[in-house]
Amino acid sequence: MEEKKSEINGHAGHKSPLPAVSIKSEKNSFKNRLMVFLKRNLLVILTVSGVLVGVGFGMMVRNMNLTRAQMTYFAFPGEMLLRMLKMIILPLVVCSLISGAASLDTRSLGKLGGIAVSYFLVTTLIASSIGVALAFIIKPGVGAGALNTNNLGLEGVSANKETADSFLDLARNLFPSNLVAAAFRSYVTDYKTILVGNGTNGTINYQKVPYGTDADGMNILGLVLFAMVFGVALRKLGAEGEELIRFFNAFNEATMVLVSWIMWYVPFGIMFLVGSKIVEMEDVVLLVTSLGKYIFASILGHIIHGGIVLPLIYFGFTRANPFSFLSGLITPFTTAFATCSSSATLPTMMKCVEENNGVDKRISRFILPIGATVNMDGAAIFQCVAAVFIAQLNNVELNAGQIFTILVTATASSVGAAGIPAGGIITIAIILEAIGLPTHDLSLMLAVDWIVDRTTTVVNVEGDALGAGILHHINEQEMKKRREQEQHQEEQELQEVKVEVVANVKAEEETSPLVTHLNQGDSSSHETLDKDGVESVL
């Protein structure tokens, strides 16, 4: 009977269904976790799938032998993605930099700006060194002397710009004469030949004279500098500038909403971007066999810099796992891989850095637009490899002075490299001019640029993102120190106040017999009350 009672009461009765309940709960928890994971990473999964589907789709369509016109139609959805991303760059860069510079006080802005510039310069210099070292180890140009433009049926690239003029153009673009024109045009030096007179032996003397022209393409460098200075000026205005700062903040938030909408089109657009590139490829086998060493050296440099050097720098500053930080940025990396444009990746990068990695909006909106313009680690690697490759191709032995010139020129000129597809080719021309090498082999770089440019852009945007993470960490540490100092000061002030109060009370007790007499009376009355209370309870 007792056993039955115990079974009825539930002591033995619940033994059999327990495992079933636990299995059900495990299934439910697994389903819930899977749903949460899919919700959180749906965009990443779709974007990566878009690239893979695009490769397969491109290989299928490639066999259909499309005409040039049909290829253009096939690439249309991808072109639309690029146009959307480029459309959002101007308001995003200008508004985010103005609101970012206005939200930081001048001292911290100067300090963060100094750290950011140092980080960009050091990482670019390391990247240039890696590129030069790999080019000398792998020797991509040795034995490729017979290789020229005609073998591959490529068009020549003309680049007869002086190195001094290239750097002067950089300075001129920093201060655009017309801000509205800077949104779609930039300053470029061109040359004209003028007659200066006849020589002594009857020859006619000509001179090459530089003159300024406008080239199509946003002068993002000038806009970045103006936006930063304008933001600092608004901060200086104080209460008068508050309304305009709020306007730019609201403009920036609205732009980020537009970015979040565009991001859902990214997987579809990327599929056609990658697919159309595969369809457009000429003889890939010939290109890879003839320029395989150059491609390998460049991509290996990107893997070393992006996979080892940059994460180590991030770990050195923050003591945090860099790969967990990078795992939240798969969507912008995929966008960078597909679009080959740092500027086009900026909108998605900003959103993911803030939402997935919790970087302060003021930091990300200040540093990322500057990074997209100035920081070109990946470009520095492939430019240095290309310069040494062309030297080896022409059987030119580079001395220590020329190697140093390559490093400095690549680091400095990557600042002005346009954040657009094939923007680095123009920069290689500057390096070649600086070390006195011919520029007619640049078309070889252009032939494989669509391969190398993908990993280049990924490394460029990775450097920007990790820089934002480092600055966020430094800013957090400073804030923490400041809070601790404030708390310490408050505690000291409180202690001083307590000491003063105690001293005053003692002084009053000693000097006033009336107070002491009253206190004694109060204490005796309290005792009688307590006794009454105890008696009533009993």
Question: 324-379, pLDDT tens digit by residue?
Answer: 999 989 989 998 988 888 888 988 999 899 988 999 888 898 889 888 888 889 98
**Strand, coil or helix: 192:** strand
**According to the model, what pLDDT value does residue 469 have?**
94
Q: What is the pLDDT of residues 431-480, one digit of tens each?
A: 887 788 877 777 777 777 778 888 999 999 999 999 999 999 998 998 89
Lowest mean pLDDT among 192-201, 263-272, 341-350: 192-201
pLDDT at residue 242 is higher than 60: yes
**Strand, coil or helix: 439:** coil
Q: What is the pLDDT of residues 128-154, one digit of tens each?
A: 999 999 999 998 877 655 554 444 444
**According to the model, what pLDDT value does residue 493 have?**
82
> Is residue 396 packed enough to be buried (19+ CB in 10 Å), middle (13-18) or exposed (0-12)?
middle
**According to the model, what pLDDT value does residue 464 have?**
93
- Going by pLDDT thresholds of 50, 70 and 90, the confidence category of residue 511 is low
Other CB atoms within a 10 A radius of the CB of residue 150 amount to: 8
Looking at every residue in the chain, the average pLDDT score rounds to 80
**According to the model, what pLDDT value does residue 531 have?**
46
Closest C-alpha to 462, from 376, 528, 374: 376
Report, at the CATH architecture level, how domain 43-482 is classified.
Orthogonal Bundle (1.10)
Lowest mean pLDDT among 126-135, 278-287, 367-376, 513-522: 513-522
Domain ranges of the chain: 43-482
Output the DSSP codes for 264-332: TTHHHHHHHHHHHHHHH---HHHHHHHHHHHHHHHHHHHHHIIIIIHHHHHHHHH-S-HHHHHGGGHHH
**According to the model, what pLDDT value does residue 507 have?**
54
**According to the model, what pLDDT value does residue 192 have?**
85
188 pairs with which residues across the strands? 213
Decide which of 163 and 434 is more confident: 434
pLDDT at residue 26 is higher than 70: no
pLDDT at residue 5 is higher than 90: no
Lowest mean pLDDT among 29-38, 46-55, 73-82, 224-233: 29-38
- Going by pLDDT thresholds of 50, 70 and 90, the confidence category of residue 317 is very high
Q: Which of the residue ranges 26-30, 221-225, 497-501 has the most confident prediction, judged by mean pLDDT?
A: 221-225
**According to the model, what pLDDT value does residue 213 have?**
87
Q: What is the pTM of this model?
A: 0.75
- Going by pLDDT thresholds of 50, 70 and 90, the confidence category of residue 15 is very low
Other CB atoms within a 10 A radius of the CB of residue 72 amount to: 13
Decide which of 441 and 8 is more confident: 441
pLDDT at residue 98 is higher than 80: yes
- Going by pLDDT thresholds of 50, 70 and 90, the confidence category of residue 284 is low
Phi, psi of 450 (to 5 degrees): -65, -25
- Going by pLDDT thresholds of 50, 70 and 90, the confidence category of residue 157 is very low
User: What is the share, in percent, of the chain residues with pLDDT greater than 70?
Assistant: 80
**Strand, coil or helix: 440:** coil
Chain center to CA of 254: 21
In SS3 terms, 441-492 reads as CHHHHHHHHHHHHHHHHHHHHHHHHHHHHHHHHHHHHHHHHHHHHHHHHHHH
**According to the model, what pLDDT value does residue 185 have?**
86
